[in-house]
Amino acid sequence: MKVKIGLETHVQLATKTKLFCSCSIENLSEAEPNTRVCDICLGFPGSKPVLNKKAVDIGIKIALALNCKIHREFFFSRKSYFYPDMAKNFQISQ
């Protein structure tokens, strides 16, 4: 048997907007709750996420620095969850 171990990390990148929309994240800790949201953040029907190019560029630079294999295409999917505190009941995952 061959064991393969993965590592998942969570980091906040130095971008001006969120990963899948144009909502600002500057001074986010000082913002009132629920003021930096849009139809995409809330997962409203018909809203389409747009990937933050700067975040992708930063991610590629980090991957290159760590000598990771970088694929030419990225694929994202919606994982369904049913938590009372998650209004849209899904998470966009790669």
Task: Tell me the per-residue pLDDT of 37-56, one tens digit each, with 9 for 90 and over.
Answer: 999 988 888 888 999 999 99
**How far apart (Å, rounded) are the C-alpha atoms in residues 72 and 86?**
32
Q: Considering the entire predicted model, what is its pTM?
A: 0.71
Q: What is the pLDDT of residue 70?
A: 92
Q: What is the pLDDT of residue 34?
A: 86
Average pLDDT for residues 9-22, to the nearest whole number? 89
Task: Provide the pairing of β-strand 77-80 with 90-93.
Answer: antiparallel
Residue 87 predicted with pLDDT over 70: no
More confident residue, 89 or 65: 65
Q: What is the pLDDT of residue 86?
A: 66
Domain boundaries, the chain: 28-93
